[in-house]
């Protein structure tokens, strides 16, 4: 099992950790242990544990909404802003995941940080990163109509879409760190190399 890390300075230091190993090597146990440890320290912002046997957790459809809900609970100042976003865009959950990410997480979070920065004018307002843990990315499959079994290619695209959403979140400079566990699927590893340059 390998643990890789890369740090990039944007508005804050952004961390990205990837745990990858074959099935049965304890990746989920590590993710759960770290989630509990970070929660005790007050630095766990959100989690998403993919599970291929669960219709709610085996595809990307609930991914952004789940993270937004947990972030709203973790950061009280985000709660009203995310609520306002839903009020202004009542059909936001019917849009694509990229639009959901913009309206439910990125824009409310930026507004919150801007207000915090203004309130802390003249003081050191650097904010420590909080963690988002995603477990079992390889268990993410493509949603298909009529409960048909998705093809391997469709599921790979769904997994890479999750990585694209994470990459988009990281590129904003929001004070979030990410830990992802997965089997070392070639498509996932190649995608991480291409967009993050943290796998050596």
pLDDT confidence band for 161 (50 / 70 / 90): very high
**How much is the pLDDT for 125?**
53
Strongest mean pLDDT among 10-14, 16-20, 127-131: 16-20
User: 13 vs 158, which has greater pLDDT?
Assistant: 158
Q: Which residue has the tokens 């566990």?
A: 181
- Over residues 40-83, the pLDDT tens digits come to 999 999 999 999 999 889 999 999 999 999 999 999 889 999 99
CB-based burial label for 45 (10 Å; 0-12, 13-18, 19+): buried
- Over residues 163-195, the pLDDT tens digits come to 999 999 988 888 999 999 999 999 999 888 765
**How much is the pLDDT for 132?**
96
Contact 135, 44 (CB under 8 A): no
Interatomic CA distance for residues 143 and 7, integer angstroms: 33
91-124 burial, b for 16+ CB within 10 Å, e for fewer? Answer: ebbeeebeebbbbbbbebbeebbeeeeeeeeeee
Say which residues have a Cβ less than 8 Å from residue 53's Cβ, sequence separation at least 6: none
Contact 33, 142 (CB under 8 A): no
- Over residues 99-119, the pLDDT tens digits come to 999 999 999 999 998 888 877
Q: pTM for the complete prediction?
A: 0.85
DSSP string, 40-90: HHT-EEEEEE--TT-TTTSSGGGHHHHHHHHHHHHSHHHHHHHHHHHHH-T
- Quick one: tokens of 145? 């109509």
- Over residues 116-144, the pLDDT tens digits come to 887 766 555 556 789 999 999 999 998 87
User: 10 vs 128, which has greater pLDDT?
Assistant: 128
Domains and CATH numbers, the chain: 16-117+128-196 (3.40.50)
């Amino acid at each position: 099992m390998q643990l890789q890390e890369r740090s990039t300075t944007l508005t804050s230091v952004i961390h990205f950790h990837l745990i990858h190993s074959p099935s049965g090597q304890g990746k989920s146990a590590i993710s759960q242990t770290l989630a509990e440890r970070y929660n005790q320290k007050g630095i766990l912002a959100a989690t998403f544990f993919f599970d291929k046997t669960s219709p709610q957790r085996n595809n990307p459809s609930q991914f952004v909404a789940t993270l937004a809900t947990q972030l709203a609970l973790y950061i009280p100042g985000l709660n009203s802003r995310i609520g306002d976003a839903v009020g202004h865009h009542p059909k936001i959950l019917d849009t694509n995941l990229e639009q959901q990410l913009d309206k439910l997480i990125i824009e409310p979070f930026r507004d919150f940080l801007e207000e915090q920065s203004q309130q802390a004018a003249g003081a050191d307002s650097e904010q420590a990163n909080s963690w988002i843990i995603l477990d079992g990315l390889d268990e993410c499959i493509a949603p298909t109509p009529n409960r048909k079994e998705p093809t391997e290619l469709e599921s790979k695209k769904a997994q890479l879409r999750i990585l694209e959403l994470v990459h988009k979140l990281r590129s904003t400079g929001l004070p979030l760190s990410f830990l992802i566990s997965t089997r070392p699927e070639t498509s996932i590893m190649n995608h991480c190399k291409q967009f993050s340059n943290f796998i050596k």
